[in-house]
Amino acid sequence: MSEILDLAGIFVFALSGALMGVRKRLDVVGMGVLAGMTALGGGVVRDLILNVRPIAFQSLGYVLVPVVATVIVFFWHPHVARVMPAILVLDAAGLGLFCAVGTEKALEYGLNPLHAALLGVVTAVGGGMLRDVLAGEIPTLLYDRQLYAVPAMLGSACMAGLYAGLGLHGWPATLAAAVLAFVLRIAAMRRNWRAPLARGLSE
């Protein structure tokens, strides 16, 4: 169950990576690289920091799903681009899931709650940052003032609190943390909440 959810998140992230490849007129290799980086980059960095072999290099699904996403975007990108508003909702779901799963894995490997939550955020946003850097852009996360990292932080903190504070393990806790981050992310999009600039900078 948890692996299926994980693969669903990877699929959505891979679609967004491959679509950025189309927008920047990359070739099929570039599309595949961006798809794989977006989908797997955050988890690979998390596992390197936990000092374990990355899950992406142990399970076949993690490699096949980005390949499938690349093929779909290669042939049907106008249709995929047309349903991007729906994909943004799925992306929010992926964000919530990745921050919860990442935090939980870090706690299981013995990190304290603060570090585990930080690593959950890295899991959720790391792939997108790598995608942007490879595509020659400053990561959107750093400047566009949408609340994208903040919902992940709160979801990760929720997961860490449930796990370390209340002793709640397993999928109910994961789901609660993922839903919290998802709802906050959707609300931030709907209501156009914005991250502040440093004090005194004009809007």
| Angstrom distance (rounded) from CA 1 to CA 104 | 15
User: Considering the rule CB under 8 A, would residue 73 count as an interface residue with a second copy?
Assistant: yes
* Residue in 53, 82, 169, 192 binding a second copy, rule: CB under 8 A: 53
Total of residues contacting a second copy (CB under 8 A): 59
* Residue in 7, 49, 84, 175 binding a second copy, rule: CB under 8 A: 49
| Angstrom distance (rounded) from CA 44 to CA 132 | 16
Output 85 or 196, the one with its CB closest to a second copy. Answer: 196
User: Considering the rule CB under 8 A, would residue 52 count as an interface residue with a second copy?
Assistant: yes
The CB-of-86 to a second copy minimum distance in angstroms stands at 20
Listed residue (27, 25, 177) closest to 99, CA to CA: 177
Listed residue (71, 73, 64, 75) closest to 39, CA to CA: 64
The terminus-to-terminus CA distance of the chain in angstroms comes to: 45
| Angstrom distance (rounded) from CA 116 to CA 151 | 16
Task: Provide the binding-site residues for a second copy, judged by CB under 8 A.
Answer: 21-22, 24-31, 33-34, 44, 48-54, 57-58, 60, 63, 73-75, 77-78, 111-112, 114-115, 118-119, 129, 133-139, 141-145, 148-150, 194-201
